[in-house]
Amino acid sequence: MNQTVEGPERPDLLKTDGPDEAWRALLPAGVQEAVSCALREAASSWVIPSFRGSGPAEIARKASGTLVTRIDREVESRLSEAVSALLPNSRVIGEEAVAADPTLLMHLGDEWVWLIDPLDGTGNFVEGRKPIAMMVALLYCGAPVLAWILDPLEDVLLTACRDEGLSSKPATPPSLSNSDLRGAAWTRYFDDGLRQAIEERFSAVAHVSPGCNCTGAEYLALLQGQQDFVLFWRSMPWDHTAGVLLLQESGGRAAYLNRDPFRPGANRFGLLAARSEQAWDQVWTALIEGVPDPEGLLSQEMQAY
């Protein structure tokens, strides 16, 4: 299935000081389509042929303990070349590049910055399991202005442009009672005390799954109405920026668990994404409000990733 959704920034999306629309005059024509093509080309050349093949070469673990493969690195390299050519003065911050040089994250506020997650769900990919995703976001002076998420195996591409809306906006979700809300919670990564306190509240909503090990796929499920919310622990910029822009363009909301809006440059714990403002408030009230947080993990910003 080929589903392309093109898409305004909501008030709670990060804004920057200065001329809010300056980026439009500076952005070359055709960038959105060009990146879409680059993603599909990388998927068809590298990702799809390696899925469930003889196994991706050079599987290793990064310092964080997460898996990385030759395909992750190759796709990031190819996409970095493609997007750099579109905006020659831009900076690329890819997941694998940051693993080698974390100081790259100090440049998230540069004028033009590309965020690349070349293969989201690497653990699934290595095991030959769906889902996997590929994500790109473009920032202007720290604010997200363009976003792409591709499911390469299902050929579903969603792309959004700040302040332009979704051309195929999903139907407005109906008002749901707590007993109807369905979602995912990646609580296995939470601080032990917080995890226990939140999991004890799961019965307040209809169904909570442990998640699919692919952040991009979780956002696609929200955008396609397959689930109502997702609760994350870490909020790395390449994992969430594209999904948050797409989600907010469709009328949804993503915010940290102290209710602060998502910022690509923040290093925070606890992020709740929901397909509507109402669902966000309901889930936050049911699962988060009043949860003991003696160490202040949900309100502090880490000094380093």
pTM of the predicted protein model: 0.90
The token duo for 298 is: 């949900």
The model's confidence at residue 293, banded by pLDDT at 50, 70 and 90, is: very high
String of b and e for 219-233 (b: at least 16 CB within 10 Å)? bbbbbeeebbbbbbb
End-to-end CA distance of the chain: 37
Angle at 128 between CA 122 and CA 132, to 5 degrees: 45
Query: Which percentage of the chain shows pLDDT scores above 70?
Result: 87
- Structure confidence at residue 179 (pLDDT): 87
Provide mean pLDDT across the span 265-282.
95
Q: What is the pLDDT of residue 63?
A: 64
How many Cα atoms within 13 Å fall on the side-chain side of residue 23?
24
User: What SS3 class is residue 254?
Assistant: strand
- Give the separation between CA 188 and CA 195, rounded to whole angstroms: 7
Residue-wise pLDDT tens digits, 68-125:
899 999 999 999 999 999 999 999 999 999 999 999 999 999 999 999 999 999 999 9
Task: Render pLDDT for 128-156 as a digit per residue (tens, 0 to 9).
Answer: 999 999 999 999 999 999 999 999 999 99
As a whole number of angstroms, the distance between CA 277 and CA 204 comes to: 18
> 34-38 long-range CB contacts below 8 Å, 24 or more apart?
34/82, 34/86, 35/82, 35/83, 35/86, 35/136, 35/138, 35/146, 35/148, 35/159, 36/4, 36/148, 36/150, 36/157, 36/159, 38/78, 38/79, 38/82, 38/83
- Residue 55 phi/psi, 5-degree rounding, is 105, 135
Residue 302 confidence (pLDDT): 77
Q: Is the pLDDT of residue 1 over 60?
A: no
